[in-house]
Structure 1
Amino acid sequence: MTTRRVLLAAACSAALFLPGSLTAQVDTTTRRDTTTRRPRATSQQRLRVQKGEAGGTIDLRADSLAAVERTRVDSINVAMQRQRDLAAAADRARSDSLAAIERARADSVARVDAFRRDSVARSDSIAAAEAAHRREMARFRFGGNGWYMGLGAGASAPTNDFKNLGYNSGLNVHVPIGWHRNNSALGVRFDLGYSRFSGQTFTGTRPVGSANTIDNPNPSVFSATANVTLATPLSLLRNVRLYGVGGAGVYHFRSFGGGSALGGYLGNDVLQTNENKNKSTRNKFGAQAGAGLDWTVGTSSVYVESRFVNVFANRDDGVAFRDFFGDRGNSLRWVPIVLGVKLR
Structure 2
Amino acid sequence: MTSLTAVPAYAAPAPKAPLERTTIERRPVGEHDILIDIKFSGICHSDIHQAREGWGDAIFPMVPGHEIAGVVAEVGAGVTRYAVGDRVGVGCFVDSCRHCEYCEQGLEQYCVEGMVATYNGRDKNGDPTYGGYSTHLVVDEGYAVRIPDGLALDVAAPLLCAGITTYSPLRHWNAGPGKRVAVVGLGGLGHMAVKLAHAMGAEVTVLSQSLRKKDDGLRLGADRYYATADESTFTELRGQFDLIVSTVSAPLPIDAYLGLLKVDGAFVNVGAPEEPNSVNMFSLIQGRKTLAGSAIGGIPQTQEMLDFCAEHGIGAEIELIRADEINDAYERVVGSDVRYRFVIDTATI
> Structure 2-normalised TM-score?
0.22
Higher normalized contact order (CA 8 Å, seq sep 6+, divided by chain length): 2
When normalised by structure 1's length, the TM-score is: 0.22
Greater share of strand residues, 1 or 2? 1
| Bigger share in helix | 1
